[in-house]
Amino acid sequence: MRPRIFWLVLILLSAGTLLYAANSAGDAKGNTTTMRPPGRSTYVIHSMDELDISVWKQPDVSRKEEVRPDGKISLPLLNDVQAAGYTPMQLAARITQQLKKFVANPQVTVTVTQATSWRIFVLGEVNKPGPVQLFPHMTVLQALASAGGLTQYAKEKKIYVLRKKPGGEERLRFNYKRAARGLSAGNITLKPEDTIFVP
């Protein structure tokens, strides 16, 4: 019996080592639970996003800026530059073009260091109403937990999600009891800027 137990323990330890290595590799590739903006070619900059503007060999021009509510940022030599509505690569190209008047062969990189659009809002009868950081594949049930859970006055059957659509908003009903029982059909995967309302 002892040899069998020895080999069983050895197999379990090996499996655990492989699992740990796989998870570590995933973390190294950025496959973590922390929400990051999509690739530089697809993410559209929003107001209040934090940007890192780097101009190669031009430290006086390079800086970190928060996009103002009017969608603009302020840069040396260029003053106000429209940032909201462009991808990081598009904004880098615009800044590059404008800097050519002052800098020889400028090389600009724009990185979104914090994307404020990656959040949702939880309002109504929850213990901590307000904005909630959005994570990959986050569901309504998880968002409610992040908001401190429902209060004793919450009406579970009347919870809904407001989602922005072209031309208006869409109201999605949320089945709290089905979601709490682990039934995926009762849950909703959230998107940036969704609003959960708990009557």
98-156: pLDDT as tens digits: 999 999 999 999 999 987 767 899 999 999 999 998 887 899 999 999 999 999 999 99
Residue range(s) defining the domain that contains residue 69: 50-114
Place of tokens 């040396």: 76
Which of residues 114, 130, 148 is at a domain's end?
114
Does 30 reside within a domain? no
Boundary residue ending a domain (68, 91, 114): 114
Specify the higher pLDDT residue, 111 or 183.
111
Per-residue pLDDT, 27: 38
| 110, 124: one domain | no
Exposure of 24 in the CB half-sphere (CA atoms within 13 A): 6
- At 2-34, the pLDDT tens digits run 555 444 444 444 444 333 343 433 433 333 333
Residues 6+ apart with CB under 8 A from 120: 131, 132, 134, 138, 143, 190, 191, 192, 193, 194, 195, 196
Whole-number pLDDT of residue 140: 95
pLDDT single digits (tens) 47-104: 888 999 999 999 999 999 999 989 999 999 999 999 988 999 999 999 999 999 999 9
User: What is the Cα 9 distance to its own chain's centre?
Assistant: 41
User: For position 141, what pLDDT does the model report?
Assistant: 93
Q: Are residues 135 and 194 in the same domain?
A: yes
**pLDDT value at residue 128:** 96
Report yes or no on 13 lying in a domain: no
Residue 35 lies in a domain: no
Give yes or no for residue 178 having a pLDDT over 50: yes
Position 33 scores a pLDDT of 33
87 and 130 co-located in one domain: no
- Whether 173 and 150 map to the same domain: the answer is yes
Give me the number of domains the chain comprises: 2
pTM of the model: 0.52
pLDDT at 31: 36
